């Protein structure tokens, strides 16, 4: 729900599991995501927003070595409500 000034701040949290194959190696990576975003209502049916999410994934099954991946994303969007 938008605030009276037309803005909305929110948090993001999630967990993930990713099976993958790299050549002859099968790995199963697991991790979590954490982030925040903001939306602004510009008109009754038009919203712009931005979001930052950091994803952390780890696997101990890749060629007998630990593989840790950290991926940061920033997204900007515009949407029209019908």
Read off the pLDDT of residues 2-43 as tens digits, 9 standing for 90 and up.
Answer: 667 889 999 999 998 878 777 777 777 889 999 999 999 999
Report yes or no: 40 and 46 within 8 Å, Cβ to Cβ: no
Report the CATH number at residue 67. Answer: 2.20.200
In a domain, 2, yes or no: no
In a domain, 44, yes or no: yes
Number of domains in the chain: 1
In a domain, 65, yes or no: yes
Contacts of 5 (CB under 8 A, 6+ apart): none
Q: What whole-number distance in Å separates Cα of residue 25 and Cα of residue 41?
A: 48
In a domain, 17, yes or no: yes
pLDDT for the residue 32: 93
Expressed as residue numbers, the domain containing 60 is 7-80
In a domain, 24, yes or no: yes
The predicted model scores a pTM of 0.73
Check whether 59 has a pLDDT greater than 60: yes
In a domain, 46, yes or no: yes
């Amino acid at each position: 729900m938008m605030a009276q000034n037309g803005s909305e701040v929110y948090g993001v949290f999630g967990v993930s599991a990713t099976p993958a194959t790299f050549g002859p190696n099968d790995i199963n990576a697991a991790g979590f995501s954490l982030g925040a975003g903001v939306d602004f209502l510009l008109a009754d049916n038009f919203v712009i927003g931005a979001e930052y999410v950091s994803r952390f994934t780890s696997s101990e099954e890749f060629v007998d070595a630990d593989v840790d991946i950290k991926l940061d994303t920033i997204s900007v969007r515009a949407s029209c409500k019908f």
